[in-house]
Amino acid sequence: MADIDAKRHVVTIEINGMRKAVSVEARKLLVHLIRDDLGLTGTHIGCDTSQCGACTVDIDGQAVKSCTVLAVMADGASITTIEGLSPSATRLHPIQAAFHEHHALQCGFCTPGMIMSVRELLKNHPNPTEAEIRHDLAGNICRCTGYHNIVRAVEALASEARNHD
Amino acid sequence: MTDARAIRYVGQSLRRREDFKLITGKGRYVDDIKLPGMLHMAVLRSPHAHAVINRVDLTEAAAAPGVRLVLSGGDLVGRIGPIVPNWIIPGTKVPVRPVVAVDRVRFVGECVALVVAEKLTMAYDAVGLIDVDYEPLPAVVDEEAATRDGAPQLHDNVPNNITTVFKVRGGDYQQAAREADQIIRLRVVNNRLIPTCMETRAVIADPSADGTLTVYIPSQVPHMHRRWIAETVGIPEHLLRIVAPDIGGGFGAKMHLYPEDLLCPYLARELGAPVKWWESRSESHQSTSHGRAHTETIEAAIRDDGTILGMRVETSGNVGAYLSNMATGGPTVNTINYGTGTYRIANYEAVSRVIVTNTVPVDAYRGYGRPEGAYIAERTIDAVARHLNLDQVDVRRKNFIQRADFPYRPYGSMGVIFDSGNYQGCLDKALEAFDYAGRRGECEALRRSGRYRGIGMAAYTHMCGMAPSRRLATSGFDRGGWESARVSIDSSGRATIYSGSMSQGHGHVTSLSQIAADVLQIPIENIDVVQGDTRQVQAGHGTFNSRSMAVGGSSVHVSSGRIVVKAKRIAAGMLEVDEKDVFYSAGEFSVPGTDIRPVTFGKVARMAYVGHKLSDGLEPGLDETVFYDPTGMGSPSGIHLAYVEVDPETGIVDIIDYVAVDDVGTIINPLLAAGQIHGGVVQGIAQALYEEVSYDPDNGQLLTGSLLDYAVPRAEHVPNIRSFFQETPSPTNPIGVKGIGESGSIAAPPCMVHAVLDALSPFGISHLDMPLTPPRIWSAIQSARAGARQ
């Protein structure tokens, strides 16, 4: 086992607009690279079977559970994490603002991944029905909110988008 | 004293002040903490439910790259441990629980050995090199099987695997049974659950050269963890600092003393370096406490008009292989004390047996005993209605404790007092919101066209915030019932609250600030809240038992009041008037009826710290600490209603509507309160429909070992929750709050089961045990149809 791990690989990614090159073991997961090597701890680990979605990030324009990707597979990718979502340190992204307004989080552990999945959901369905919202969030587990206020937040975002059209 | 000018914060749906960091990825959970020179611990866990350990060979692991230390249970004997429970019902036989198993393992997941290495991957790799020679023994996982003759015995000092027998009695059940028209009998199972906080457990112990040790741990009870770790590892308590940063959910699972909580502090001191342990999800399923796991048999003596004259209950509570922290209190005091629910049942006889099995230890999980108690009462009343063909609403109304009865001692109990309530009011409100009459008609109409809809109902009450302290000794609860709050005003008039309560996502920073702001009459922006650091917070018990607003909030209320009293004395000196002539409102001290210019709270605070004009005998400073010990406990109550449709071809349950009317006394923040109901109800729905821990009965293997196999519901599995409140203030505390966190998970399981049973009533199905999964429902329908054809 040790000799396999001894071989390291350089992975170059663009993360939240910054270019980073990191040397990793072949077995390292992308989520560990994000958290441990880059210190972006807003991306969380809630399981070890790719069920919970707490580690969801955006890879090349698509929401992906970063525990399902080896770090080496992300070489050359452009990644956005929760830390890269808000336009500035004091301004919130509309999804973040909606989560705050509708009390769509309690402990906050699932929240970064949930927000990244909501971002994908609204990209695919700008005007989702409640059933579509609930279905599209099936990859993210929240244990605190019962999902009720998460659905309210997404509905409010959709209706805001409608009003802007 | 307040007046109309004062802003009222209590009762407002303020948005949470703690959100910003959490929605931007700036939260700080224990796993986010990385310290210089930090080492990583990994644990080897037993693959057997029950086995003798003949030999543990650590040689190869010790030689692996990056490994700093490898230990087995034998190496720790006499150094740390054993782990002692914190709630020991008198008469309990307490099995010895070593921190790491020494010569025998008793559940799949028990710690057998550990590795400390420079990297987590190195620690995991080395754990795989430890060689253990086990001799498997017969295992038992079921609570009823464990007490049968010939069952495998877990502990020499626990004959028949029963650690505790606890009895409750009021009135004369035998007499009631003789007077009854009928006796009905039920056997119900309260399925074993995994609390599943999204953040798993983690511990970092960081030794300092000055002899102090800081332990970062997601603890619901930081000061309790300080005491327990100090005593079990042998560290002077004053040199131990517990820091609980952001916590990713607790639900009861993060308020116990676990082996890893002790190993990291011990190892950090041995190695002189920070040691971290992080629990993977699959590890969590076999190392963090489970919940529920009861079987109850019930007998009810009833009249033909639906009056319940008496009940007899026998509870078998499965607590796993050892007595976890509060294990003996759950199936006993917390369950059978509440077996008569919201009903006037004068004659009651109950016995609970606490039983050890070869499974993960079972302890508090959101409601702890009260869901099981409400399940007893509610399944009984529903069975009465079903059996007598009476409406479920009418039978409940007939038996309810009436508004004029409060304070009410069910079955003449000495320990249980329901302080207040208005069950009829909740019921009326719920029926109207739900359109009960309309939907009853809809169910009947749809059944004629082969569609199976059902309405479920559940009523509940319980008691929150175990107190007062002097009453807790008799039940063997080794802690107090008080909570501590320090309100410290700085020289500008801004306040910092140091609270012994510990949020795990509840929003205490917001709600405690609301309470303080009303009393201090200063803008809420001028108040901050500190929790979760035993070097900052003077003392505390933490958050569990829905106690944080009732006890923690009251302590903030009382200490804020003391600030105002002292500030008035300071103001009197500044205004050169008598203290009793000073009036305080909206941040200003004035003397009504005079032209004396008022002074602001900020100016008074400044005076408190410069001390130039303090009257004789008055100490400088504006800083008050309170240990608030309640005189009694508040009793939340409520009515929940569910509307479901069952597909008879698949057994799938569609939840069409869910209405919750909860009376939790004064509501501090309606938005946060509703959030507690939503989350609790969904955990209750999860118990009723989806979740169940499965063990192989033959070998004790955990079959639901990961989130692949354990069915935590997703957004599409649950409905919107329509939450309403009724506010009957509790007379037991100064703000009238009762406690809300556990209401949903108490009410929802019986409510959902009743809804499904109502939908299945045309098939003649009158009982099913949770979880009501599609296969279970489908099979019941198939059997009923087959029976009907014969």
Domain with residue B498: its CATH number is 3.30.365.10
Of A39, A103, A138, nearest to B672 by CB-CB distance is: A103
pTM given for the model? 0.97
Angle between helices B370-388 and B743-760 (to 10 degrees): 30
User: Residues 231-270, chain B: which have Cβ within 8 Å of A?
Assistant: 246-249, 251
Assigned domain for B157 exists:
no
Whole-number pLDDT of residue B3: 47
Can you give the pLDDT at residue A2?
47
Mean pLDDT (chain B) is 97
- Is B281–A48 a contact, with Cβ atoms under 8 angstroms apart? yes
For an interface test with A, which of B30, B198, B502, B543 has the most A Cβ atoms less than 10 Å from its Cβ?
B198
Per-residue pLDDT, averaged over B344-351, amounts to 98
CB-based contact (8 Å) between B201 and chain A?
Answer: no
Chain B partners of A130 at a C-beta cutoff of 8 Å?
Answer: 720
Question: Given B506, B681, B716, which is nearest A106 (Cβ)?
Answer: B506
Q: Which domain holds residue B215?
A: 34-137+198-249+254-285
Same domain, B452 and B564: no
In this predicted model, what pLDDT tens digit does every residue of B158-200 receive, in sequence order? Answer: 999 999 999 999 999 999 999 999 999 999 999 999 999 999 9
Q: Give yes or no for residue B6 having a pLDDT over 80.
A: no
Q: Are residue B310 and residue B270 in the same domain, yes or no?
A: no
Domains and CATH numbers, chain A: 2-82 (3.10.20.30), 94-164 (1.10.150.120)
Query: Do B706 and B557 fall within a single domain?
Result: no
CB contact under 8 A, B199 and A47: no
Query: Band of the pLDDT at B561, cuts 50, 70, 90?
Result: very high
Say whether pLDDT at B644 is over 50.
Answer: yes
Shared domain check, B447 and B319: yes
- Measured between CB atoms, does B35 come within 8 Å of chain A? no
CATH number at residue B235: 3.90.1170.50
Residue whose C-alpha is closest to residue A26's, from A54, A46, A6, A47: A6
DSSP A67: T
**Chain B interface, mutation test: which of A5, A109, A152, most B Cβ atoms within 10 Å?**
A109
Q: Do B24 and A134 touch (CB under 8 A)?
A: no
Query: Mean pLDDT, to the nearest integer, of A122-129?
Result: 95
Torsion of the alpha carbons at B250, B253, B256 and B261, rounded to the nearest 10: -80
How far apart are the CA of A103 and the nearest CA of chain B, in angstroms? 7
Per the domain annotation, does B94 fall within a domain?
yes
DSSP annotation string for B101-114: -SSEE-STT-EEEE
CB B707 within 8 A of CB B114: no
C-beta atoms of B199 and A137 within 8 A: no
Report CB contact under 8 Å: A109, B16.
no
Kindly state whether residues B460 and B392 are assigned to the same domain: yes
Number of domains chain B contains = 3
Q: Select the residue of B198, B504, B678 nearest A141 (Cβ to Cβ).
A: B198
Give contacts of A96 with chain B, Cβ < 8 Å: 23-24
Q: Based on the domain organization, do B312 and B385 belong to the same domain?
A: yes
Boundary (domain end) residue, out of B580, B607, B628 = B628
Instruction: Answer whether residue B1 is part of any domain.
Output: no
pLDDT of residue A6: 65
* pLDDT interval class at B1 (50, 70, 90): very low
Chain B, 701 to 760: residues with Cβ < 8 Å from chain A are 706-708, 712, 714-716, 718, 720-721, 744
Residue at B476 is within a domain? no
* ipTM value for the complex: 0.97
* Together in a domain, B488 and B573: yes
pLDDT score, position A161: 78
**Which residues in chain B have their CB less than 8 angstroms from residue A46's CB?**
198-200, 248, 281
In a domain, B527, yes or no: yes
Indicate if B273 and B339 belong to the same structural domain: no
Q: Please report the beta strands in A16-146, taking only residues with DSSP state E, as ranges in sequence order.
A: 18-25, 56-59, 62-65, 78-80
Q: Are residues B268 and B374 in the same domain?
A: no
Question: Residue B658 in contact with residue B644, Cβ under 8 Å?
Answer: no
Considering B628, B653, B674, which residue would you say is the last residue of a domain? B628
Domain membership flag for residue B144 = no
Give one DSSP letter per residue of B56-104, joined into a string.
EE-HHHHTSTTEEEEEEHHHHTTTS-----SB--TT-------SS-SSE
| Closest Cα in chain A to B658 | A148
How many angstroms separate the CA of residue A84 from the nearest CA in chain B? Answer: 9
Q: Kindly state whether B292 is in contact with chain A, defined as any CB-CB distance less than 8 angstroms.
A: no
- Distance from the B517 Cα atom to the nearest Cα atom in chain A, whole angstroms: 21
Say whether both B441 and B518 belong to one domain. Answer: no
> Residue B731: inside a domain, yes or no?
yes
Q: What kind and span of H or E run contains A74?
A: none
Inter-chain CB pairs, A–B, below 8 Å: 187
B701 and B723, same domain (yes or no) = yes
- Read off the pLDDT of residues B424-473 as tens digits, 9 standing for 90 and up: 999 999 999 999 999 999 999 999 999 999 999 999 999 999 999 999 98
The confidence score (pLDDT) of residue B413 equals 95
Same domain, B106 and B52: yes
Q: How far apart are CA B488 and CA B508, in angstroms?
A: 17
